[in-house]
Amino acid sequence: MKAAECTLTAFMPEADAPNPGNPIHSNDSARARGFKAALVGGATVYGWAVRTIVESLGSAWLDHGWAELSFRRPVYPGDCVAVRVDSNGALEIGVGEAVCVNGTVGLGDAPWRRELTAPADLEAQPPPPDAPRLTPANVPIGRDLRARSVSVSRAESEAFCLDKLAEGDP
């Protein structure tokens, strides 16, 4: 494992979308909730870190690696984002002096892997037609969520990576 870092400018193609799936990912809705602009999605910010993680740990991380992350502060479109992985696997994603995401990455099984239990039913089910939107009030705590199968073609995956992450490396 070696230290690696990169910088990039955060972007979000749909920051002015009026009705995103999560309102904090829209400028108007985020501002109404006290944020300065739309928040870039956490999965997108993490996605931007993958190239640096692979540079540090090697491509084997893609097949058998892990990450443990804490999302601390928002990232906004236009922010200059620094991604760093040190030689001990500490990951930090920051804007200026602010740490937005921190955690640890590694190869093999995560140290906490044995604490996880597999759901009882792993067979994919179609989504129920009347499934309610999950909220903190109705999430089924202590029960397995239904497994879902989602087919994504290579072309769809590449288009997503180019659009959401500006990442063209296969």
Across the chain, which has 170 residues, the per-10-residue mean pLDDT values are 96 80 88 94 94 97 96 97 98 98 97 90 84 84 84 88 81
- The kind and range of the H/E element at 149 are none
For 60, other C-beta atoms within 10 Å of its C-beta total: 11
Give me the phi and psi of 68, to 5 degrees please.
-125, 120
At residue 115, the pLDDT reads 93
CB-based contact 33:104 (threshold 8 Å): no
- The kind and range of the H/E element at 151 are none
Q: Rounded to two decimals, what is the model's pTM? A: 0.83
At residue 144, the pLDDT reads 86
Q: For residue 52, with 0-12 CB atoms within 10 Å meaning exposed, 13-18 middle and 19 or more buried, which class applies?
A: buried
At residue 13, the pLDDT reads 82
Q: Which residue has the tokens 């999560």?
A: 22
In sequence order, which ranges of the chain are alpha helices (DSSP H)?
27-32, 42-57, 60-64, 154-160
At residue 84, the pLDDT reads 98
